[in-house]
Amino acid sequence: MKFTPEHKALRKTVRDFVEKELNPYIDEWEEAGEYPIHEVFKKLGNLGLLGIQKPEEYGGMGLDYSYNLVAAEEFGRTLCGGVPLSIGVQTDMCTPAIARFGSDELKRDFLAPAIAGDMVGCIGVSEVGAGSDVAGLKTTAKKDGDDYIINGSKMWITNSPKADFICLLANTSDDKPHKNKSLIVVPMNSPGISFSNHLNKLGMRSTETAQVFFDDVRVPQRNRIGAEGTGFMMQMMQFQEERMWAAANMILALEGCVEKTIEYCRERKTFGQPLIDNQVIHFCFAELQTEIEALRALTYEACELHVNGKDATRLASMAKLKAGRLGREVTDSCLQYWGGMGYMWDNPLSRAYRDVRLASIGGGADEIMLGIICKMMGTLPGKRKD
Ligand SMILES: Cc1cc2nc3c(=O)[nH]c(=O)nc-3n(C[C@H](O)[C@H](O)[C@H](O)COP(=O)(O)OP(=O)(O)OC[C@H]3O[C@@H](n4cnc5c(N)ncnc54)[C@H](O)[C@@H]3O)c2cc1C
């Protein structure tokens, strides 16, 4: 990937934003279990950072995905995983399908305000009984005149308690599971929507996550994104950007863990010498940094394919898989060298250890990525090429 001066300028803008507007408040937000999302999104919107890749006519910058990737990477410098996740939901999870397939009206009513930071969005795919198996979801949107009536529930929905709209995947017919789904934009103030209490999570503490219930929620059919029955396909496309975003966001977060731990190991002495002077320890940092560079190369390669209009599914799935696995390896290895300090709740490595764990579960678990990679390698039973 060749980065231009414009990529570098964008990197600096995001880096400055993280340093000035996010990091000084992260401890407070993690403790509170929430952050002022509308306020933060408005500031991001004013800088154009919520619409990097979105069309200019709706307030976006109209740049290609490589710029989005650079921003995702830089948001990895945030001193927690929760706030970047929440931003990624807005930019790369609940708005790509609206931008690509939505009507002008949907773009005007939901995309433009999301880009400006005037509206917070969330993505509603997972359900209690259908996380990995997206095709098995049960929420329905049944036609009634010009409207849909929605019934069901969505589980673990990031940003939902403060969101203004949800990009909802629901069954709109009794056709086969891959052909009966549509993506529908539902305003969160619609009568019939209610929430569980905030879910008490292992990590990502500063984001709000809840179960969302739909009880006879009426929404106009014109809020459907694209043609009826194409929601599953659109969501699978939307997942590609979500997965590249997740991989890119991991890179600098993990480098930060290694850097902080090196610093600590230079200071901390055992048996009369700094921890870092033990070969087992400095070799470990060399191994981890090598792996991080490998993640970076893989993620950039996936991005390059995507930018060039080629199918990045295979490499994006590999990058997501690698990010999840490496996130666990780096945070676990680094936490070890902080000893008892690393086991304390407020220690930066302890937070990273908890936050990165989601990467192997959310947005398609490691095993789902392996299944996709196998399918593309032609090694899945029933799909073998020979
Ligand atoms: C903090 C948080 C935030 C989230 N935010 C959102 C959100 O904003 N919107 C949204 O829609 N969803 C969200 N999710 C949901 C997330 O995407 C799902 O949890 C994820 O897709 C896994 O689904 P599941 O939990 O139902 O696990 P299951 O499908 O029950 O799978 C459990 C485990 O089994 C394994 N497994 C599953 N299938 C296979 C298989 N075929 N072969 C081998 N192993 C397998 C995997 O290891 C998986 O982790 C969030 C989840 C969390 C925890």
Residue list, ligand 1 pocket, CB within 6 Å: 89, 122-126, 131-133, 156-158, 201, 204, 209, 358, 361-363, 365, 367, 371
* Ligand 1 center to 360 CA (angstroms): 9
- CA-CA distance, 201 to 386, in Å (whole number)? 45
Q: Which atom of ligand 1 is nearest to the CA of 122?
A: 8
Question: Which residue(s) pair with 140 in the sheet?
Answer: 151, 171
What pLDDT, on a 0 to 100 scale, did the predictor assign at position 384?
A: 55
pLDDT tens for each residue of 54-85: 999 999 999 999 999 999 999 999 999 999 99
Tokens standing for residue 63: 């740049």
* Ligand 1 center to 168 CA (angstroms): 17
Task: For helices 313-337 and 348-356, give the axis angle rounded to 10 degrees.
Answer: 150
* Ligand 1 center to 237 CA (angstroms): 18
352 CB burial (10 A radius; 0-12, 13-18, 19+): buried
- Given ligand 1 and candidates 34, 139, 156, 358, which is best to mutate, with the most ligand atoms within 8 Å of its CB? 156
What pLDDT, on a 0 to 100 scale, did the predictor assign at position 1?
A: 81
What pLDDT, on a 0 to 100 scale, did the predictor assign at position 383?
A: 59
Question: Which residue(s) pair with 93 in the sheet?
Answer: none
- CA-CA distance, 175 to 135, in Å (whole number)? 12
Indicate which residue of 34, 242, 304, 329 is catalytic.
242
140 CB burial (10 A radius; 0-12, 13-18, 19+): middle
Q: Which atom of ligand 1 is nearest to the CA of 199?
A: 1
Phi, psi of 77 (to 5 degrees): -80, -10
Clarify whether 6 is annotated catalytic. Answer: no
For the chain, list residues with pLDDT below 50: none
Q: Between the CA atoms of 7, 8, 11 and 17, what dihedral angle is there, to the nearest 10 degrees?
A: -120
What pLDDT, on a 0 to 100 scale, did the predictor assign at position 235?
A: 92
Question: Which residue(s) pair with 225 in the sheet?
Answer: 183
* Ligand 1 center to 363 CA (angstroms): 7
Tokens standing for residue 33: 């279990």
Give the residue whose CA is nearest to atom 9 of ligand 1: 157
- CA-CA distance, 191 to 229, in Å (whole number)? 25
| pTM of the predicted model as reported, rounded to 2 decimal places | 0.96
Instruction: Pick the closest to residue 216 from 167, 166, 165, 150 (CA basis).
Output: 150
Which whole-number Å values give the CA distances from 287 to 76, 150, 256, 331, 356, in the listed order?
A: 20, 50, 15, 13, 19
